[in-house]
């Protein structure tokens, strides 16, 4: 029991001593500032990159070996300009063969369409006359042998041979006559159709070979700047191999990402200022063109696309640009430095000094610039700077920002040891 009483007594003494210390310890000097009327421009700040809205990645449409590359990275190209050539000896040979085949097919079609020449018909008719004369001779021979056969003067074999020769001669006459009839009937529809089909087939084959040859010459699909070169002479490439990338910087955009919590503040056509880290004295103006369309759930960010104004000479594709998008402008607003506003679970507050005690005052923040916060319903002659460093109820003494800075500098100087500057200074 005595042990418990001793413990309670010690706790009470310590608590009393701490209370007395808090009451009598000197108030900490705290810098305060006076709210003032000023224009506050709220911005959403993000880092992005300058890029082309249109980008062409040229690839190989056929397999082959690179013969030449006519552009370097950074070169300006025009639409249709030849940038890469593949070796084309075999393709040119196949093209020549297809052209020859087409010439042959056209010549055959012309021949079929023209029909037989008069000389051809005359030759065919002469063949008929010759075969008819031969037939007459064979028939006369057969008549003579038949009479002798009937008198048993010639044998059966000789007689049968004469009959066969007469039949062959008769068939020859029929064949010769059919030849004449066929020539006179030309051109036949079926022959014309076949000849025309062969011409069309040869034309298609020639067009295919010409297209294959053309694919060995790679041309730029748009005007722009070459940003990537992956092709070198002698390099073997397959279908789809990326050879060059060309960006059309005549229609650029700036792509940035920002926290999705900023979505409520963002609107299309809001003005923006973009600065390249290496050229901070040459800002680029622009406007917000597109928000989203989707949020990256994993990272909690949304993409923004901005249209910049005229680009300066130093602008390069994929250049980093620090971007500030104006999301609010408050003229003649009651403003305090942003460090004077502190966030708590139940809202945002400023800290005021009342009877040397720090007290929280709830406020409504209309907007923030990087330096100032525009407030609503603030009724206080002065607020504490660096409010996050002050606890509610803490004893503080309000001093101006200049006084606080001087006191802090003096304290740092007093705490810094001064070393002797010479051997004489080190003597006792």
Question: In this prediction, what percent of the chain has a pLDDT beyond 70?
Answer: 84
What is the DSSP code (8-state) at residue 316? -
Using the predicted structure, report yes or no on whether residue 415 has a pLDDT greater than 80: no
pLDDT tens figures, 168-192: 888 887 888 787 667 666 666 777 7
Long-range contacts of 301-305 (CB under 8 A, 24+ apart): 301/257, 301/258, 301/259, 301/260, 302/257, 302/258, 302/259, 302/260, 302/262, 302/263, 303/255, 303/256, 303/257, 304/46, 304/48, 304/255, 304/256, 304/257, 304/258, 304/266, 305/253, 305/254, 305/255
CB 99 within 8 A of CB 203: no
What is the DSSP code (8-state) at residue 230? -
- pLDDT, residue 122, reads 73
CA proximity to 29, closest of 358, 372, 381, 337:
358
Q: Is the dihedral of CA 248, 249, 251, 257 positive or negative?
A: positive
CA distances from 274 to 95, 149, 257 (A): 55, 123, 14
- pLDDT, residue 393, reads 84
Per the listing, tokens 């694919």 go with 215
Count the neighbouring beta carbons within 10 Å of the beta carbon of residue 142: 19
CB 268 within 8 A of CB 290: yes
| Residue 232 phi, psi (nearest 5) | -135, 150
Coil, strand or helix at 416: coil
- pLDDT, residue 312, reads 93
Model-level pTM greater than 0.85? no
Judged by average pLDDT, the poorest of 3-12, 51-60, 132-141 is 3-12
Question: In this prediction, what percent of the chain has a pLDDT beyond 90?
Answer: 51
| pLDDT band at 422; cut points 50, 70, 90 | very low
Which alpha helices (DSSP H) does 230-341 contain, by range? none
- pLDDT, residue 428, reads 33
CA distances from 168 to 137, 162, 172, 207 (A): 12, 10, 6, 52
Average pLDDT score over residue span 282-300: 94
Q: What whole-number distance in Å separates Cα of residue 212 and Cα of residue 92? A: 9
Rounded to the nearest integer, the mean pLDDT of the chain is 84
CB 188 within 8 A of CB 207: no
Helix axes 118-150, 156-185, angle to 10 degrees: 160
- pLDDT, residue 420, reads 43
One DSSP character per residue, 323-368 reads: EEEEEEEEEEEEEEEGGGEEEETTEEEEEEEETTEEEEEEEEEEEE
Helix axes 189-214, 89-114, angle to 10 degrees: 160
Both tokens of residue 257?
Answer: 């990402």
């Amino acid at each position: 029991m005595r042990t418990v009483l001793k413990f309670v007594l010690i706790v009470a003494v310590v608590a009393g001593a701490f209370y007395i210390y808090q009451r009598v310890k000197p108030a900490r000097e705290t810098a305060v500032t006076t709210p003032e009327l000023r224009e506050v421009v709220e911005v959403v700040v993000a880092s992005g990159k300058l890029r082309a809205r249109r980008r062409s990645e040229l690839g190989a449409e056929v397999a082959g070996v690179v013969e030449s590359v006519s552009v370097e990275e950074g070169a300006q190209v025009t639409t249709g300009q030849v940038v890469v050539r593949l070796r084309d000896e075999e393709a040119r040979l196949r093209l020549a063969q297809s052209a020859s085949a087409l010439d042959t097919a056209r010549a055959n079609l012309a021949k079929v369409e023209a029909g037989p020449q008069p000389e051809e018909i005359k030759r065919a008719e002469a063949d008929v006359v010759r075969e008819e004369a031969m037939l007459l001779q064979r028939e006369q021979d057969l008549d003579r042998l038949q009479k002798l056969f009937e008198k048993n003067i010639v044998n059966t074999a000789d007689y049968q041979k004469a009959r066969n020769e007469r039949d062959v001669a008769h068939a020859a006459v029929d064949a010769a006559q059919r030849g004449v009839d066929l020539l006179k009937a030309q051109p036949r529809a079926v022959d014309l159709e076949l000849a025309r089909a062969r011409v069309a087939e040869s034309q298609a084959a020639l067009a295919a070979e010409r297209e294959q040859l053309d694919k060995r010459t790679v041309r730029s699909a748009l005007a722009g700047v070459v940003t990537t070169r992956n092709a070198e002479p002698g390099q073997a490439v397959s279908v789809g191999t990326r050879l060059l990338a060309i960006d059309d910087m005549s229609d650029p955009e700036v792509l940035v990402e920002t926290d999705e919590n900023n979505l409520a503040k963002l609107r299309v056509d809001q003005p923006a200022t973009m600065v390249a880290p290496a050229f901070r004295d040459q800002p680029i103006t622009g406007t917000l063109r597109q928000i989203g369309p989707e949020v990256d759930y994993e990272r909690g960010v949304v993409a923004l696309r901005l249209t910049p104004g005229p680009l300066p000479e130093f602008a390069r594709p994929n250049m980093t640009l620090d971007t500030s998008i104006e999301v609010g402008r408050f003229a003649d607003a009651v403003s305090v430095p942003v460090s004077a506003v502190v966030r708590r679970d139940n809202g945002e507050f400023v800290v005021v000094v009342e009877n040397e005690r720090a007290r929280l005052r709830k406020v409504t923040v209309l907007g923030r610039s990087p330096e100032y916060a525009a407030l609503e319903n603030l009724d206080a002659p002065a607020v504490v700077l660096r409010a996050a460093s002050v606890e509610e109820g803490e004893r503080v003494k309000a001093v101006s920002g200049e006084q606080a800075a001087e006191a802090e500098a003096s304290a740092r100087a007093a705490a810094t040891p001064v070393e002797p500057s010479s051997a004489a200074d080190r003597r006792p």
